[in-house]
Structure 1
Amino acid sequence: MQLELKRLARKHRIAPPPSVPTAPLPPVDGDWIFEGLAAPATIDSERTKFAAECWMPVRQNIPLLYRHGRLAGEVLEVRTTDKGLHVRALVRDNEAKQCTHFSVAATIHGYQLREVNNRESFHAVITCAALDEITLTNAPANPAAVVLHRYRQSAAVEFYDIVKRGIICAQGVVAALRVMNAAQVAPPQTVAGPDKRSACDLAGSRPTPVKAPTRPRPKTEFRTLVDAINATSGQVQ
């Protein structure tokens, strides 16, 4: 994609735009929360636009970096909106806390070139991308990727984030236990091997079956009448 954009720039005799860094923010102490559009759905200085709906499902643990280099903190939330990719991040690095803009690194899976014959407005629209990292910088590729909100992390916000991560961790543990329980099988049963004695030995070794004692059946009314008649007949004889 970048090679095709460079080819179009040479065709239209357009030089790459100069990078003009922004003035850093005043230094601050402690951990801070930064919010804003990391990838606005607008054309940047490199004539590239991330479509609002281009993002694949965002994986867990997206790194937050300072100028695409060292770790600057932690990404707390990433969500897609009709205006672009919105991010909320916890920033711990002192130099990163002075940055005014976001930027992203992504793996491009699909794009389209637009208005290739128009010298002023040719650009590439990214239609499918996987987010790899989010960075804080003062030299953004997209001037619209500005940090909209910056505030000190409060105890309430910290508690909310801890609880949220705890719930996610607990859900993972429950899912793992369900998988383990489903994978369990009944223990193997020991099957006795065939008896190697002869048929004669087996016949002689079998115990004599003992019949269970039989209980007398209760007399019915008819049987009682018959016994009474027989008894009377005996007395008459």
Structure 2
Amino acid sequence: MSGEAIRMRLELKRLARKYRIAPAQCSPTAPLPPVDGDWVVEGFAAPATIDKERTMFAAGCWLPFKQDIPLLFRHDRPAGEVLEIRGTDEGLHVRALVSDEDAKRCTHFSVAATIHGYQLREVNDRESFYALVTCATLDEITLTNVPANPAAIVRHRYRQSAVVEQWDIIKRGIVCAQGIVAALRVINSAQSSPPQTVVRPVKRSVCDVPRSRPTPVKAPTRPRPTTEFRTLVDAINATSGDLQ
């Protein structure tokens, strides 16, 4: 326990003595039925609510989480593996794989943390005073049936094999969806492309082809032979022109 944590506990005890409040007792809960195989559990290991020790971990109090935070049974022996830890507005959410037989029957979570900063709140109110942890390092997650915070409930519990089966179903669904999307893209591409017209040579009948005909050549005009009658006519025509 860090120096800040010890100081916080002493101040809370001082306020409890001031208001003549007996230390709160953590009541055990009935264990869950025994189960076979490994199980996955989820829930808020440190909800943003006041616990029975009049302490609340603020939603944003956590420093960056360390690697390989242990999962224990009642702060004692290893119980499995922490799969995911994330801070939310409602508190510290945890998902873990549990292999210990006793831990699988636990109903609640709890945490062990190194406290770096806190604030006393509602110190003048006999019923409502508490310590708000504003900065802390998460050291461990534990499963228990004697919870300090009744709100730290194991909300979901399911077999690991069920998770694997669900993931296989999801993967098959993703592959199927990808195939459908690819087929729709091909169909849309075919509908959006203009139809291609193939130009073929036009077959024409021999009768439709215009035939070229040779231009007729005029025969040369032969001069008319001069006769006595023709000479007389020409003389008359010439006389008529002079008279006009």
What is the TM-score when the length of structure 2 is the normalising length? 0.64
- Map residues 16-55 of structure 1 onto 2, 5 A cutoff: 16-55=23-62
- Map residues 74-223 of structure 1 onto 2, 5 A cutoff: 74-154=81-161, 157=164
- Map residues 222-237 of structure 1 onto 2, 5 A cutoff: none
Corresponding residue number in structure 1 for 2:12: 5
Secondary structure in 1 aligned to 2:149? coil
Question: Segments of 4+ in structure 1 off by > 6 A?
Answer: none
- Deviation of residue 46 (structure 1)? 0.3
Distance in 2, matches of 1:23 and 1:79, equals: 28
The amino acid across from 1:76 in the alignment is L
Q: Structure 1 69/7 Cα, relative in aligned 2: closer, same or farther at 3 Å?
A: same
Can you give the 5+ residue segments of structure 1 that lack an aligned partner in the other structure?
161-237
Corresponding residue number in structure 2 for 1:217: none
Could you list the per-position Cα deviations for residues 124-181 of structure 1 after superposition, in whole angstroms to 9, with x for gaps in the alignment? 0000000000000000100000000000002754997xxxxxxxxxxxxxxxxxxxxx
Q: How well do the aligned residues superpose, as a CA RMSD in angstroms?
A: 1.4
Secondary structure in 2 aligned to 1:61? coil
- Deviation of residue 7 (structure 1)? 0.6
Distance in 1, matches of 2:162 and 2:109, equals: 25
Distance in 2, matches of 1:43 and 1:19, equals: 13
Secondary structure in 1 aligned to 2:96? strand
Distance in 1, matches of 2:69 and 2:94, equals: 11
Q: Structure 1 48/117 Cα, relative in aligned 2: closer, same or farther at 3 Å?
A: same
Distance in 2, matches of 1:132 and 1:109, equals: 13
Distance in 2, matches of 1:156 and 1:19, equals: 33
Corresponding residue number in structure 2 for 1:203: none
- Deviation of residue 18 (structure 1)? 1.8
Distance in 1, matches of 2:164 and 2:76, equals: 27
Q: Structure 1 156/137 Cα, relative in aligned 2: closer, same or farther at 3 Å?
A: closer
Distance in 2, matches of 1:31 and 1:156, equals: 11
For the pair 1:15 / 2:27, whether they are aligned, the reply is no
Q: Structure 1 159/17 Cα, relative in aligned 2: closer, same or farther at 3 Å?
A: same
Secondary structure in 2 aligned to 1:154? helix
Distance in 2, matches of 1:81 and 1:157, equals: 26
Secondary structure in 1 aligned to 2:85? strand
Q: How many residues align?
A: 160
> 2:25–2:52: 8 Å Cα contact kept in structure 1?
no
Distance in 1, matches of 2:113 and 2:164, equals: 29
Percent of aligned pairs sharing the same letter: 77
Could you list the per-position Cα deviations for residues 11-30 of structure 1 after superposition, in whole angstroms to 9, with x for gaps in the alignment? 00000112210000000000
Q: Structure 1 156/140 Cα, relative in aligned 2: closer, same or farther at 3 Å?
A: closer
